[in-house]
Amino acid sequence: MEINNDKRTHCNEIETIEHLFYNCSQTKSFITQIVNWINRTCGKHYTFSIIDLLFGIPSIRLDKLIKITNWIIIYAKWYMYSCNLANEKLFLLRFLTDLKHHAILEKYVELIRKPDLENCIWDILLNEL
């Protein structure tokens, strides 16, 4: 029995980076939910291109909101990849719960490195989770 590891488990399409993180119908639905959540929590109206989702949002200045958004994009890709490997469906609530736990850890690490930090970047995200 031959196992074809090039096929995506949920939709039986050829597995590529673009497909897994952008073109798959399940991914598109999940990304739309994340973008809607980001827009609601930030009071913005972001749209993300395939380049933004694959490589992050470029920023000339060190904008805290863009830094957090890029971190959410990275974490979302890890979550989608992990779910794909485990043959699990993508759920926004589970993603946001996991995201909160990881943001707490990131905040803790930042506070260890900078104990006198008053406005922690992770508070922006944690206040919304």
Ramachandran angles phi, psi of 117, nearest 5° = -70, 125
Could you please report the per-residue DSSP string of 48-114? --HHHHHH----SS--HHHHHHHHHHHHHHHHHHHHHHTT----HHHHHHHHHHHHHHHHHHHHHH-
pLDDT for 60-105, tens place per residue?
A: 666 777 888 888 889 999 999 898 888 888 999 999 999 988 888 8
Q: Report the alpha-carbon distance of residue 6 to residue 126 in Å, rounded.
A: 37
Cβ-Cβ contacts under 8 Å for 44 (sequence gap 6 or more): 38, 65
Cβ-Cβ contacts under 8 Å for 6 (sequence gap 6 or more): 14, 15
pLDDT for 5-60, tens place per residue?
A: 555 556 777 777 777 777 788 888 999 999 898 888 877 787 888 888 888 888 76
Nearest to 17 by CA among 83, 69, 81, 79: 81
Give this prediction's pTM.
0.79
Q: Report the alpha-carbon distance of residue 99 to residue 76 in Å, rounded.
A: 9
